[in-house]
Structure 1
């Protein structure tokens, strides 16, 4: 991404802060992480990292639009997908967390990792986000693949059937 692209990404992301100037200053001079409020410009759907990485791989296809901003937290083992705010949506699934209005999300600047947070797909400043329908379809497909790939020793044994 060009310097202009990084700057647009910084401006777009910092706009979600209560004080965008302080946010950018913290990114440059502080610990590199800002707490931004979800629900105004974007929501974040956070899933376990194995599911999230496989989902992102499914979304990263030449025939599809470039995926929206996606963040990984290597300490928490989670991947966060930025999608349009939708207070009426209900994302359900094991380990699925939906950060929306009232929730705060820790994010590094789009141009570098900070602590355990790193952009897999940084915001480009255009406002492009994950399309919920495409994300849901990819999550379902990834979840099905993970169920198939789970080693048999980790699967719950089924009780023997009579007869």
Structure 2
């Protein structure tokens, strides 16, 4: 559980009061908290149809991509990327969460309700680079297009 504690500390470090955040988060029956994006990470939110295939591409080329979130039913997949990425992202159909936004974050290593980690943070601060994520998205989209149009 040491890795989970480190991940909790890393995530809570962006909260206005990290100690209070950790205390409430550990006792929240839903296992989630709201954390501000734009400090240690931004989030690029892909539609589920593209999110999982993009994660599949990333896991083929990286030992371990940065943290990745998914909502219930995998309708959306959120990739944690370096802060500032959201302000410069120009991708059709991709939502962003950066400075001034808050996201629901599940407690690492514990089951939560509607949001869960596909790749939990390890506490090291490793994030997925936006250029690599974009390349993985293009490959995933091309693979999806090929499957839909096998001609």
TM-score, normalised relative to structure 1:
0.84
Hey, what does 2:65 align to over in structure 1? 67
Runs of 4 or more, structure 1, over 3 Å off, are none
Distance in 2, matches of 1:123 and 1:34, equals 15
Q: What secondary structure is seen at the aligned counterpart in 2 of 1:45?
A: strand
Q: May I ask how many residue pairs the two structures share in their alignment?
A: 148
* 1:41, distance to aligned residue in structure 2 (A): 0.6
Gaps of 5+ in 2: none
Which entry has the higher C-alpha Rg, 1 or 2?
Answer: 1
* 1:36, distance to aligned residue in structure 2 (A): 0.5
Distance in 2, matches of 1:18 and 1:123, equals 20
Hey, what does 2:23 align to over in structure 1? 25
1:14 and 2:43 correspond: no
Query: What CA RMSD, in Å, does the superposition of the two structures yield over aligned residues?
Result: 1.8
Gaps of 5+ in 1: 153-163
Q: Is contact 1:26–1:32 with CA below 8 Å preserved after alignment?
A: no
Distance in 1, matches of 2:56 and 2:90, equals 20
Hey, what does 1:124 align to over in structure 2? 122
Q: What secondary structure is seen at the aligned counterpart in 2 of 1:60?
A: helix
